[in-house]
């Protein structure tokens, strides 16, 4: 794969992470529709993971059909509480034996954020291993790699790739199938059911992206 195609694929993959991350924040119907969130997600997924784009289209259709209040109530019931969460959106619940928040895996995730030069805003009320944060972190790492390549900072590229693979394979993908299964089991809402299918399909597809590389120095 030549550098131009690689950069376009990487940017599009990063966009998928960013847009999926937005879907796990409280739903803002007017804003999402104004910004074309679901159309942009479907367009990006068609390029890098066509199977997942089927579900993003279903997300858009469902999002249009539900009143804002219904979406917000279901979001809270599934992901926020105050009662027992149907699908806790925190990695440590699935990765750590105690099945609790702020476990050992959370501390490791925080260290990875810090090593990447990031800190969590004091006004941010969610936990560091919330699915929206982890998806956004993947977008950030991809953005940094693209920026390094565009500026010919080749010494930064391999470490950024390694961090992406480590974070994706150790701290994100291992718990996403369990989380998505709990989302689907816990809801009859077509939007959140389709969102679970979309995320799972997209992340599973990334297993098959080993050919999504170019050789530094040879392809530049």
DSSP one-letter code for 171: I
pLDDT in tens, 15-74: 999 999 999 999 998 989 889 999 999 999 999 999 999 999 999 999 999 999 999 999
* Confidence band for 82, pLDDT divided at 50, 70 and 90: confident
- What pLDDT is stored for residue 167 in this prediction? 97
In a domain, 111, yes or no: yes
- What pLDDT is stored for residue 207 in this prediction? 66
pLDDT in tens, 96-151: 977 678 889 999 999 999 999 998 777 777 899 999 999 999 999 999 999 999 99
**Mean pLDDT value of segment 161-174:** 96
Tracing tokens 């500026």 back to the chain, one arrives at 151
In a domain, 91, yes or no: yes
* Confidence band for 2, pLDDT divided at 50, 70 and 90: confident
- What pLDDT is stored for residue 97 in this prediction? 77
Give the three-state DSSP class for 90.
Answer: strand
- What pLDDT is stored for residue 216 in this prediction? 43
In a domain, 88, yes or no: yes
In a domain, 215, yes or no: no
Interhelix angle for 37-48 vs 190-205, to 10°? 30
- What pLDDT is stored for residue 63 in this prediction? 96
Question: What's the number of domains the chain is made of?
Answer: 1
CA angle, corner 109, sides to 105 and 114, nearest 5? Answer: 145
In a domain, 219, yes or no: no
In a domain, 80, yes or no: yes
In a domain, 217, yes or no: no
The rounded radius of gyration (Å) of the Cα atoms in the chain is 18
What span, in angstroms and rounded, lies between the C-alpha atoms of 80 and 218?
49
In a domain, 164, yes or no: yes
Residues 6+ apart with CB under 8 A from 15: 40, 41, 44, 139
Is the pLDDT confidence value at 217 over 50?
no
The domain that contains 113 carries what CATH number? 1.10.3480.10
- What pLDDT is stored for residue 219 in this prediction? 42
What span, in angstroms and rounded, lies between the C-alpha atoms of 22 and 129?
15
| Residue ranges making up the domain that contains 26 | 3-208
Is the pLDDT confidence value at 220 over 80?
no
């Amino acid at each position: 794969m030549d550098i131009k195609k690689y950069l376009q694929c990487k940017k599009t993959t990063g966009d998928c992470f960013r847009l999926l991350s937005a879907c796990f924040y409280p739903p803002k119907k007017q804003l999402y529709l104004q910004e074309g969130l679901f159309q942009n997600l479907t367009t990006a997924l068609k390029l890098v993971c066509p199977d997942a784009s089927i579900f993003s289209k279903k997300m858009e259709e469902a999002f249009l059909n539900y009143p804002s209040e219904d979406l917000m109530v279901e979001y809270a019931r599934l992901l926020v509480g105050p009662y027992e969460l149907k699908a806790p959106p925190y990695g440590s619940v699935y990765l750590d034996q105690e099945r609790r928040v702020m476990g050992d895996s959370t501390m490791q995730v925080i260290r990875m954020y810090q090593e990447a030069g990031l800190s969590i805003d004091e006004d941010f009320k969610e936990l560091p291993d919330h699915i929206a944060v982890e998806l956004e972190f993947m977008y950030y790492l991809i953005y940094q790699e693209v920026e390094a390549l565009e500026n010919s900072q080749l010494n930064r590229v391999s470490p950024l790739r390694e961090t992406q693979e480590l974070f994706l394979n150790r701290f994100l993908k291992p718990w996403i199938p369990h989380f998505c299964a709990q989302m689907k089991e816990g809801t009859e809402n077509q939007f959140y059911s389709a969102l679970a299918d979309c995320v799972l399909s997209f992340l599973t597809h990334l297993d098959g992206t080993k050919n999504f590389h170019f050789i530094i120095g040879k392809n530049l």
